[in-house]
A and B are shown apart, each in its own frame.
Chain A
Amino acid sequence: MDIAIETHQLTVAYNAEPAVWNLNVQIPLNAMTAIVGPNGAGKSTLLKAILGTVRKLSGSISLHPSIGNHNAAIGYVPQRSSVDWDFPTTVFDVVLMGTYGRLRWFQRPGKKERAEAMDALRQVQMDDLADRQIGELSGGQQQRVFLARAFVQQASVYLMDEPFAGVDARTEGLIIEVLRERQRAGNTIVLVHHDLASVSEYFDHVALINQKLVACGPTPATFTRENVALAYGSVPKQLP
């Protein structure tokens, strides 16, 4: 199996506190991988390190050559709560932001970019709400807007930070459906995931981390009660 992203002895620290410690993780190409661990385990930090937005203290990250290394090569979906949803902008405008990475300095998005944004909205079934203010959306709709914005980047790898947090069941089903479609089209999907009960159902691969790596590999072999207990300190109630 080809490896899409590999971290080698990755350490990231905020001031004097390590968030991720000496982490070796392999994320396979063309698979759905969950990053699972307790709060403060460094899951979001791992995503940011792969994106290159936090400084590494040690180690390296290598990407598969097919991914490319231009600015928008990795599609990113930040946590929904990280922005102010009362910002004066429409659904369509937010999705259009996904094309900004491709624009040269001082260039504005043109016809092509607008068509792509509309396309991405269609994929997440939000095209009829394109002109809606983002403040008027439900949690699930907001999440779908973020997803569409990442898809516009036309990347082959997508990193998502808890896309199912505070989302209704219908949206969760729709998002999984869209992601599986992406996987069939050859994309690599990495999710920070909180709901332990659905890990086995949704993901091919899983990386259990708690600052350090606990286990990483195909879900059936990796996502065992022993490993979860190692990562969390005890087996959480959510797990049957």
Chain B
Amino acid sequence: MLDFWSDYTIQLVVLGSAMIGALSGALGCFAYLRKQSLVGDVVAHSSLLGIVLAFWFTYLLTGTASKSIGILLTGALVAGLASLFLTDLITSYTRIKPDAGLGIMLAIFFGTGIMLLRFLQRSQPAIPGINGIDDYLFGMAATMTSGDAWLIAIVGVAALVTMTLLWHRLKLFTFDADYASGLGMPIQMLEVVLLALIVIGIVVGLQIVGVVLMIGLLIAPAASARQWTRSMAAMCVTAACIGAASAAAGAVVSATGSGLPTGPVIVLILSAVFAFSLVVAPGRGLLHRRRKVVS
């Protein structure tokens, strides 16, 4: 622990993780309130295929293996959106139910992603750096570089600015799309913006929690924050704080030598926060309810 405050790498990792946690937590509120939690899970799993493909294509094109998260996360973004688009196509034109459609897309994209990853890992001659892609399964905050942190900061600020400028419209659209449409708002555009925000929230989180557990970082802060707050703005801010604190704590535990994957640590911290919120949240939690029944 001693070297924690002086070690530049650890400071960077903690700061970067906190930013990611805040961003995913805040954007997760939209997914939660639109009842798209499981959509988040599918996008996260599916993005593995995008990450592996992006890595492979860069290697084929340039001959060097790049693990710049700018490139990998672009791949993740494309794959995530593709899986959502396909799910939508399947469920609106056939009798497959949305739930099953999501499950299938998850299976196809993630399964193919794993297949390709294992294939590349065994290919000869060995591709340098391919084993590092494994970190995207369960998250490894410690591999973050200062370039990565800057990129996340820029994406975060862009998402934040979009959210603030369009805040009222996004809020109304999330709450009551029919009415927003009646007021003449461009709801198709709002839908696209919102979806893009949610997918960005998922994709940036992949580095620290990984594709398998991403749903935890996306949803748990929102679900906890919902218990404490009475307005959507407060919910987003609270979720951002919960996400940031949990991600930073998880990164510290993981980066100070234990070698544990960051994802599960962060998700467990978040689950504890969630359980705590459910029980003690003022005016809403289970304790409050019990007191009301007694009195």
Interface set of A (CB-CB < 8 Å, partner B): 48, 51-53, 70-72, 74, 76, 78, 82-84, 87-90, 93-94, 97, 100-101, 103, 105-106, 108-109, 133, 149, 153
Query: How far, in angstroms, from A149 to B178 measured CA to CA in the complex?
Result: 13
The yes or no answer to B231 lying at the interface (CB within 8 A) is yes
Residue of chain A at shortest CB distance from B93: A15
Residue of B nearest to A97 (CB): B172
- Given A71-B184, A78-B182, A101-B184, CB of A89 within 8 Å of CB of B169: no
Whether A88 contacts B165 by the Cβ 8 Å rule is no
Say whether B35 contacts A88, CB under 8 Å: no
Contacts of A84 in B (CB 8 A): 33, 35, 175
Q: How far is the CA of A83 from the CA of B34 in the complex (A)?
A: 10
Whether A100 touches B183, Cβ cut-off 8 Å, given contacts A53-B178, A82-B178, A89-B175, is yes
Bound complex: CA of A70 vs CA of B184, how far in Å? 9
Interchain nearest-CB distance for B237 vs A (Å):
12
Q: How far is the CA of A89 from the CA of B235 in the complex (A)?
A: 10
Which chain A residues lie closer than 8 Å to B226 at the CB level? 88
B268 at the interface (CB under 8 A from A): no
Distance between Cα atoms of A105 and B229 in the complex (Å): 27
Q: A132 → chain B, closest Cβ, in Å?
A: 9
**Contact at A87–B232, with CB atoms within 8 Å?**
yes
Q: Which of B174, B178, B179, B181 has the most CB of A within 10 A?
A: B179
B230 beta carbon closer than 8 Å to chain A: yes
Question: A100 to B172, Cβ gap below 8 A?
Answer: yes
Q: How far is the CB of B184 from chain A (nearest CB, A)?
A: 3
Residues A88 and B230 in contact in the complex (CB < 8 Å), given A76-B179, A97-B179, A106-B165: yes
A153: chain B residues at CB < 8 Å are 183
Most buried by B among A52, A106, A109: A106
What chain A residues lie within 8 Å of B229 (beta carbons)?
88
| B: number of interface residues (CB 8 Å) | 26
Assembly CA distance A87 to B165 (angstroms) = 21
- Given known A87-B232, A97-B179, contact A72–B184 (CB-CB < 8 A): yes
Indicate if B272 sits at the interface (CB-CB under 8 A): no
Residues of B within 8 A of A72 (CB): 183-184
Do the beta carbons of B175 and A83 come within 8 Å of each other?
yes
- Contact check, B168 vs A83: say whether CB atoms are below 8 A apart: no
The residue from A51, A52, A82, A106 contacting B176, defined by CB atoms under 8 A apart: A82
CB of B279 within 8 A of chain A? no
The CA-CA distance from A119 to B165 in the complex, in Å, is: 27
B275 contacts chain A at the CB level, 8 A cutoff: no
Q: Are B178 and A88 in contact (CB under 8 A)?
A: no
Contact among B179, B184, B231 with A90 in the assembled complex (CB-CB below 8 Å):
B231
Shortest Cβ gap from B183 to chain A (Å): 4
| In the complex, B115 has a CB within 8 A of chain A | no
A residues in contact with B172, CB < 8 Å: 97, 100
Please list 12 pairs of residues, one from A and one from B, whose beta carbons are closer than 8 Å in the complex, sorted by A's number: A71-B184, A82-B178, A83-B175, A88-B230, A88-B232, A89-B171, A89-B230, A97-B176, A100-B183, A100-B185, A106-B165, A133-B230
Query: Which 9 pairs from chain A and chain B are nearest by CB?
Result: A71-B184, A101-B183, A76-B182, A53-B181, A78-B178, A51-B182, A83-B176, A88-B235, A97-B172
Measured CA separation A72–B183 after assembly (Å): 5
Contacts of B182 in A (CB 8 A): 48, 51, 53, 74, 76, 78
- The smallest C-beta distance from B117 to any residue of chain A, in angstroms, reads 38
Give the residue of A52, A53, A87, A103 whose beta carbon is less than 8 angstroms from that of B33: A87
Q: Are B175 and A71 touching (Cβ within 8 A)?
A: no
Q: How far is the CA of A14 from the CA of B165 in the complex (A)?
A: 34
Q: Say how far B176's CB is from chain A's closest CB, in angstroms.
A: 5
Contacts A88-B232, A93-B231 known; A109 to B179 CB distance under 8 Å? no
Q: What residues of A have a CB within 8 angstroms of the CB of B165 in the complex?
A: 105-106
Kindly provide the distance from the CB of A75 to the nearest chain B CB, expressed in whole angstroms: 9
> B104 near A: Cβ within 8 Å?
no
In the assembled complex, the CB of A50 is this many whole angstroms from the nearest CB of chain B, namely 10
What residues of B have a CB within 8 angstroms of the CB of A90 in the complex?
A: 230-231
Residues of A within 8 A of B179 (CB): 76, 78, 97, 149
Check B175 against A97 for contact (C-beta < 8 Å): yes
Asked if B234 is an interface residue, CB under 8 A from chain A, the answer is yes
